[in-house]
Structure 1
Amino acid sequence: MPDPGPGASTLADRIDRLFQVVRRPNREPYSNDEVARACREATGESFSATYLWQLRTGRRDNPTKRHLEALATFFRVPPAYFFDDPQSARIDEELVLLGALRDAGVRDLALRAVALSADGLGTISDMIEAIARREADAERAG
């Protein structure tokens, strides 16, 4: 499924976005089975992996309030993420940042950059941008 990106507009997009961005510490995605199980345990209600898959793909689009609250709790987002477009977009941006910071290399680089001056941060930013362009060019060529 394509990445809906920040500001995903449908409920299915928003739920799927959580699976894409919020991952285990080892960067592996959560499965529908384990999220459904956690939601079942949290609500005491029926919540199957198939039902979750249907929500993620838009085949079902009217979950109960308790189901959405359970998903919000599991992924550590406010329930408003599923309804409020401006808040959803802001939370999506924060999730991307948090996801990146879970990567030990990114976190180490960010922590080391805290002590740099504005000029030093600008230089590092320019270097990262140049490397990203070079890698993107290489990927397109390769």
Structure 2
Amino acid sequence: MPETDGGAAALAEKIETLFRVVRRPDRTPYSNEEVARACREATGESFSATYLWQLRTGRRDNPTKRHLEALAGFFQVPPAYFFDGEEAAAVGRELEVLGALRDAGVQRVALRAVGLSPEGLDTVSELIDVIARREAARRGGPGQDEQNTRA
């Protein structure tokens, strides 16, 4: 079954990540019932919303290969996501990007950057780094921004 890199907790985290990042077209999350129904239809086997909840929370950690394949199919990730640590890491990085791209502001920036030269992309990246540092300093507390502008 799934790779034993943390057992139930690792499997639950992987499934929870899929629910958090992969959304309906209207950006609302899928329910356990919707996913379980799709997995039942894909496998022809028993797959209840309660069972899925147990997998998501780590209360169950020994799904069949067919159940994991059905979950992978529903969320459009390779089945190896559940079995292979390297594949899980690669898919995890892709899911982070997907999650970020759900933000309309990030989408606008990304779409405007299409076609820029490598040098132009480097400049945009540097500007983003500067802005991120400034915003982090502001969140650090009152007065910190004043100190940064005086320095």
TM-score bin, normalised by smaller chain: 0.7 to 0.9
| Partner in structure 1 of residue 4 of structure 2 | none
Distance verdict in 2 for CA 1:127–1:26, change over 3 Å: farther
Q: Does 1:123 align with 2:126?
A: no
Q: Percent identity?
A: 70
SS in 2 for 1:11: helix
Q: Which one scores higher on RCO, CA 8 angstroms, separation ≥ 6?
A: 1
- Where do 5+ consecutive residues of structure 2 fail to align? 1-8, 143-151
| Partner in structure 2 of residue 49 of structure 1 | 49
TM-score (norm 1): 0.82
Cα RMSD between the aligned structures? Answer: 2.0
Which piece of structure 1 moves more, 56-65 or 125-134?
A: 125-134
Residue 133 of structure 1 and its aligned partner are, at CA, apart by 2.9
- Where do 5+ consecutive residues of structure 1 fail to align? 1-8
| Partner in structure 2 of residue 60 of structure 1 | 60
Q: Does 1:88 align with 2:88?
A: yes
Q: Is the 8 A contact 1:23 1:99 kept in 2?
A: no
Residues 1-54 of structure 1, C-alpha deviations (whole Å, 9 max, x = no match): xxxxxxxx7111111111122122333222212111211222222111111111
SS in 2 for 1:141: coil
| Partner in structure 2 of residue 4 of structure 1 | none
Residue 114 of structure 1 and its aligned partner are, at CA, apart by 1.9
Q: Which residue identity lines up with residue 58 of structure 1 in the other structure?
A: G
Instruction: Give the paired residue count.
Output: 134
| Partner in structure 2 of residue 22 of structure 1 | 22
TM-score (norm 2): 0.78
Q: Is the 8 A contact 1:55 1:61 kept in 2?
A: yes
Distance verdict in 2 for CA 1:135–1:33, change over 3 Å: farther
